[in-house]
């Protein structure tokens, strides 16, 4: 968005007015957002069960319990969850980013039918995770589902069809694939907008100078898209860490914890096992991973501020 470069911000002598505008929303924000963030940190250092009137302060015991469970013969739910979140994160910052950028470039050439393609690829972004979970559960249905009946029709042996969500190895990949299906359209739209800011004259000049399309992309377009790429990566990381709905509806973390993510784990720890302290600690672990990227994002926005 273009912001007119007016530095003029109203100066008043007794400036109490802005606070009247700010105070209401800020109060709600503190009670429901800022306060809870800190309270979760406190909870993570207690053994609270969610019911008792009192809780004991136990320091970092919950964290020791979580990280101590890593590397056992039988992987713990926490180990699975942490691994799955990191896998999700890694897939999200690479696959949808690459495909989204590729599509954006193809859709930036003024080809016929552009709009239709964009709408089609963006459509999943409008669906709720609940709906996506159901649609993909049907796609992955082992017997009559869309995927396996296609495999059957293509001559795949009927007694050896993949179990997808029921398969311990495949399940998490199947879920991440469904999540990427939703994500790609979003990334594509962000890059389409970003490409509008790449001056065509630069590309043309490079073309005249004899640069190959490959060089033009890596030397001009991609570096100019760097700000968009930063945002895309931050958004992808945060979205991968927020993953909950798909897992909850498609597999509930099964089979045998193999699709559990930190969000599901903390839900089970807190609301099924009444270990609020441990659940809070899990949330803190997840928050710490996201913090790095929140800071990168903030830094980006601050840089924009300095321009004016």
Partner 1 sequence: MATINPPKPKRRALSTGQWLMVLFLLVFTLVYMVPFFGAIITSFRTMDDMSLNGFWSLPREITISNYVEAIQRSGVTGFLGNSFIITLPALTGTIFLSSLSAYALARHRFAGNKFIYFMYVAGTMLPFQILLLPVFMLSNNLCLQEAYELGQFVLNIPFVDAKVCLYNSYLGVIMIHIAFQMGFCTFVLRNFMRSIPGEIMDAARIDGANEFGIYWRIVMPLTLPGIAAVSTLEFTWIFNDYIWALILLSDGSKFPVTQGLSNLQGQFTTNWPLITAGALVATLPTLIVFFALQRYFIGGLTLGGVK
Which residues between 62 and 121 bind partner 1 (CB under 8 A)?
A: 103, 106-107, 109-113, 116-117, 119-121
Q: What is the Cα–Cα distance from 210 to 200, expressed in whole angstroms? A: 15
- Of 69 and 141, nearer to partner 1 (C-beta) is 141
- Secondary structure element (H or E) that encloses residue 165, with its range: none
Nearest by Cα to 203 from 227, 191, 219, 225: 219
To partner 1, the closest distance from the beta carbon of 73 in angstroms equals: 29
Question: Which residues are bridge partners to 57 per DSSP?
Answer: 46
Q: Decide: is 298 part of the binding site for partner 1 (CB under 8 A).
A: yes
Subset of residues 117 to 176 that bind partner 1, contact rule: CB under 8 A: 117, 119-124, 126-131, 133-139, 141, 143-146, 149-150, 152-153
| DSSP 8-class letter at 270 | I
Considering only 70, 98, 199, 219, the residue that binds partner 1 (CB under 8 A) is 199
Part of the chain binding partner 1 (CB under 8 A), chosen from 56-64, 67-75, 163-171, 241-249: 241-249
Q: Decide: is 183 part of the binding site for partner 1 (CB under 8 A).
A: no
Q: What is the Cα–Cα distance from 182 to 135, expressed in whole angstroms? A: 12
To partner 1, the closest distance from the beta carbon of 13 in angstroms equals: 12
- Of 121 and 176, nearer to partner 1 (C-beta) is 121
Q: What is the Cα–Cα distance from 171 to 207, expressed in whole angstroms? A: 46
To partner 1, the closest distance from the beta carbon of 74 in angstroms equals: 25
Long-range residue pairs from 77-80, CB within 8 A, at least 24 positions apart, any chain: 77/253, 77/257, 77/260, 77/265, 77/268, 78/265, 78/282, 80/257, 80/258, 80/259, 80/260
Say if residues 192 and 104 touch (Cβ distance below 8 Å): yes
Say if residues 34 and 25 touch (Cβ distance below 8 Å): no
Considering only 45, 190, 247, 268, the residue that binds partner 1 (CB under 8 A) is 190
Instruction: To the nearest 10°, report the CA torsion of 26, 27, 29, 33.
Output: 140
CB atoms within 10 A of CB 223: 11
To partner 1, the closest distance from the beta carbon of 138 in angstroms equals: 5
- Of 73 and 99, nearer to partner 1 (C-beta) is 99
Subset of residues 15 to 54 that bind partner 1, contact rule: CB under 8 A: 15, 17-22, 24-26, 28-29, 31-37, 39-40, 43
How many residues lie near partner 1 (CB under 8 A)?
117
To partner 1, the closest distance from the beta carbon of 110 in angstroms equals: 7
- Of 55 and 75, nearer to partner 1 (C-beta) is 55
Considering only 91, 172, 175, 235, the residue that binds partner 1 (CB under 8 A) is 235
| DSSP 8-class letter at 245 | H
Considering only 63, 156, 173, 287, the residue that binds partner 1 (CB under 8 A) is 287
């Amino acid at each position: 968005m273009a912001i007119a470069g007016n530095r003029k911000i109203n100066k008043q002598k007794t400036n109490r007015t802005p606070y009247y505008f700010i105070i209401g929303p800020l109060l709600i924000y503190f009670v429901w957002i800022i306060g809870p963030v800190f309270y979760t940190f406190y909870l993570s250092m207690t053994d609270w069960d969610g019911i008792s009137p009192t809780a004991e302060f136990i320091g970092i015991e919950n964290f020791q319990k979580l990280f101590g469970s890593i590397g056992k013969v039988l992987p713990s739910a926490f180990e699975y969850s942490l691994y799955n979140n990191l896998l999700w994160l890694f897939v999200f910052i690479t696959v949808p980013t690459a495909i989204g950028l590729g599509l954006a470039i193809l859709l930036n050439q003024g080809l016929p039918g552009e709009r239709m393609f964009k709408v089609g690829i963006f459509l999943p972004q409008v669906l709720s995770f609940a709906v996506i979970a159901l649609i993909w559960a049907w796609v992955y249905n082992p017997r009559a589902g869309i995927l396996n009946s296609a495999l059957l029709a293509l001559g795949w042996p009927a007694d050896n069809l993949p179990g997808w969500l029921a398969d311990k190895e495949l399940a998490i990949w199947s879920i991440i694939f469904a999540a990427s299906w939703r994500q790609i359209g979003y990334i594509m739209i962000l890059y389409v907008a970003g490409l509008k800011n790449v001056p065509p004259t630069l590309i043309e000049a490079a073309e005249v100078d004899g640069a190959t399309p490959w060089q033009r992309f890596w030397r001009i377009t991609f570096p100019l898209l760097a700000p968009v790429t930063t945002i895309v990566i931050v958004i992808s990381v945060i979205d991968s860490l927020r993953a909950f709905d798909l897992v909850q509806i498609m597999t509930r973390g099964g089979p045998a914890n193999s699709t559990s993510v930190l969000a599901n784990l903390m839900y089970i720890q807190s609301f099924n096992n009444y270990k609020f302290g441990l659940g809070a600690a899990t949330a803190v672990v997840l928050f710490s991973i996201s913090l790095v990227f929140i800071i990168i994002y903030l830094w980006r926005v601050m840089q924009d501020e300095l321009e004016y």
